[in-house]
Amino acid sequence: KQEVTQIPAALSVPEGENLVLNCSFTDSAIYNLQWFRQDPGKGLTSLLLIQSSQREQTSGRLNASLDKSSGRSTLYIAASQPGDSATYLCAVRPGAGSYQLTFGKGTKLSVIP
Amino acid sequence: DGGITQSPKYLFRKEGQNVTLSCEQNLNHDAMYWYRQDPGQGLRLIYYSQIVNDFQKGDIAEGYSVSREKKESFPLTVTSAQKNPTAFYLCATFQQGIYGYTFGSGTRLTVV
């Protein structure tokens, strides 16, 4: 059974710092991986979707990488801002015929002004 | 604006009562999902539906029921058989392509 782990569970950084969030998964046979952001008491907002054939995706200050063979993905946030404070979750989709996601428990990011 | 509407935002349930959470979408997406989120446990799949009039159990379906009579709507009923229903419930849709999954803003259910 696929398991997704996100370490650390919480991270606090000063404003302006570049940072990396980690996501690992036990079964490398994935179709794609998606990063989400969740603000307190809110739903999930999709940030980046990486297909299994891709190595990375970029959107603004965000860059997500995928290394399927090692079962790892990273989300890089450049020049962090207090507005980036949120919980970041990664989720993997096992195959083209499956529409179910397996989620990590998230990393809670605090960017200190 | 295209999106997913979940209502109500907050819901209180008495012991032994059934309650229904609403999820409506105007994205024209085929697949819809219900997830439960508890502190420290991440998201767990309750039910999902890939087409109208068909749905499948997820990992924690016991004590819940759903229907999918219209493409736009996927309501979730939390029955009295669900012994620990206090949680944050999220509805999502899926469409093939670059967007993947889209989530609603959630319903917080509390047992009183």
pLDDT of residue B91: 97
Give the residues of chain A that fall short of pLDDT 70: none
pLDDT of residue B100: 81
pLDDT of residue B1: 56
Q: Inter-chain contact A34–B100, Cβ cutoff 8 Å?
A: yes
Q: How far is A14 from chain B (nearest CA, A)?
A: 25
- With contacts defined as CB-CB under 8 Å, which chain B residues touch A89? 42-43
Kindly identify which residue of chain B lies nearest to residue A43, measuring between CA atoms: B105
Determine if the peptide bond prior to B8 is cis (ω within 30°). yes
Mean pLDDT in consecutive groups of 10 residues from the start of chain B, 112 residues: 88 90 95 92 92 94 97 96 92 82 94 86
pLDDT of residue B6: 97
- Which of the residues B5, B37, B43 would you substitute to probe the A interface, choosing the one with the greatest number of A C-beta atoms within 10 Å? B43
pLDDT of residue B43: 92
pLDDT of residue B55: 95
Judge contact between B78 and B63, C-beta under 8 A. Answer: yes
Q: Inter-chain contact B41–A105, Cβ cutoff 8 Å?
A: yes
Q: Inter-chain contact B103–A49, Cβ cutoff 8 Å?
A: no
Judge contact between B98 and B87, C-beta under 8 A. Answer: no
d(CA A35, CA A55): 14
d(CA B105, CA B99): 17
